[in-house]
């Protein structure tokens, strides 16, 4: 059946060739009735599958009761229709009918055979170990213009040191705890394109190794 466009207040008659009236698409505020049989007025919504069996209704009137244009696509059928209309996506009872065109997205993963796999970094870089005096804060890696960067830090101090990792305000009692030594390195990996600072909260010097992957 053809799509029917209704301006506010406009009505149209729909002949019924079967006992069911299927609302393929309904946008706007649409009501349905039948003056000939005194069928009471009721709201017509997308996804409705109306059964007129046992009634003498041969046609129905649809009316746009809203303040904006309405569009309906209905079909009269001798059998109940439950399946979708063949679109890629169909939402019953809502405004979204289907999605046909591809959607452009930016992602850092691929999907193959239903499994998602993260894309590997395209380059790896590193820097000289960073020495941090006791009670001092040092920037171990600066900000980057890369779209994505994974930073890996290791605490490889000569003796166990307690450090804190964070932004420019990192200090004692503030930031991620990062305790380790060369004999038992502590590692920390996270994604950031911002500058990273480390505060040495110990009485002895700390040494931090730095590497990163970027895309």
Per-residue HEC secondary structure of 27-73 comes to ECCEEEEECCCCEEEEEECCCCEEECCCCCCCEEEEEECCCCCEEEE
Counting Cβ atoms within 10 Å, is residue 132 exposed (0-12), middle (13-18) or buried (19+)?
Answer: buried
Which tens digits make up the pLDDT trace of 133-177? 999 999 999 999 988 899 999 999 999 999 999 999 999 999 999
Q: Please name each of the domains of the chain with its CATH number.
A: 4-77 (2.60.120.10), 123-214 (2.60.120.1540)
State the Cα–Cα distance between residues 38 and 57, nearest whole angstrom.
9
The pTM score is 0.48
Which tens digits make up the pLDDT trace of 18-61? 888 888 889 889 999 988 888 888 898 888 888 887 778 888 89
């Amino acid at each position: 059946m053809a799509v029917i466009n209704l301006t506010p207040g406009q009505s149209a008659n729909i002949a019924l060739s079967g006992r069911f009236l299927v609302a393929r698409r309904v946008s706007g505020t649409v009501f349905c009735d039948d003056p000939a049989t005194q069928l009471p007025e009721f709201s017509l919504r997308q996804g409705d599958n109306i059964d007129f069996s046992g009634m003498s209704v041969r046609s129905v009137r649809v009316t746009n009761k809203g303040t904006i244009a309405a569009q309906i696509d209905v079909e009269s059928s001798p059998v109940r229709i439950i399946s979708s209309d063949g679109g890629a996506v169909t939402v019953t009872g809502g405004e979204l009918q289907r999605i046909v065109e591809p959607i452009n997205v930016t992602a850092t993963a691929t999907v193959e055979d239903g499994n998602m796999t993260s894309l590997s970094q395209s380059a790896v870089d590193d820097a000289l170990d960073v020495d941090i005096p006791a009670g001092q804060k040092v920037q171990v890696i600066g900000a980057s213009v890369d779209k994505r960067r994974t930073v890996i830090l290791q605490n490889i101090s000569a003796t166990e040191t307690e450090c804190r990792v964070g932004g420019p305000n990192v200090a004692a009692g503030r930031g991620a705890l990062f305790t380790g030594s060369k004999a038992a390195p502590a590692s920390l990996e996270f994604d950031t394109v911002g500058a990273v600072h480390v505060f040495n909260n110990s009485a002895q010097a700390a040494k931090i190794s730095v590497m990163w992957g970027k895309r």
